[in-house]
Amino acid sequence: MFGSAAWRRHRAAKARAANERLVRDLCGRGAVREAEGIVESAWIDGLDHAERTDPTVRGILEREREAFHRATRRRAAEAEQDRRRLAALAEELRTGSPSAPG
């Protein structure tokens, strides 16, 4: 049904579409991470304000700050992993062959 050239074009088009989906997914994940960071920062700021008005919330504030720091580290690790995936994808698109796994 397909000649070898048509098959190669078909496979290249499928690979290109998959790469475009991956780029959209990684960019979307970055936007979600950024939004999470903004929400958590606002939450911590609100707790800081609450502590100034009611000192009994100190325990809650300390737990939330630690959770915030853990989440920040997790998001940074995810962002670095996504950055590497995007760099590998860009290299693959530029050279036309998959890069070595890192």
Domains of the chain, by residue range, sit at: 4-92
Residues of the chain with pLDDT under 50: 102
CA gap 64, 54 in Å, rounded = 16
pTM, rounded to two decimals: 0.61
Residue 90: which residues within 8 A CB-CB, separation 6 or more? none
Task: Encode pLDDT of 55-80 as tens digits.
Answer: 777 788 888 888 888 988 998 999 99
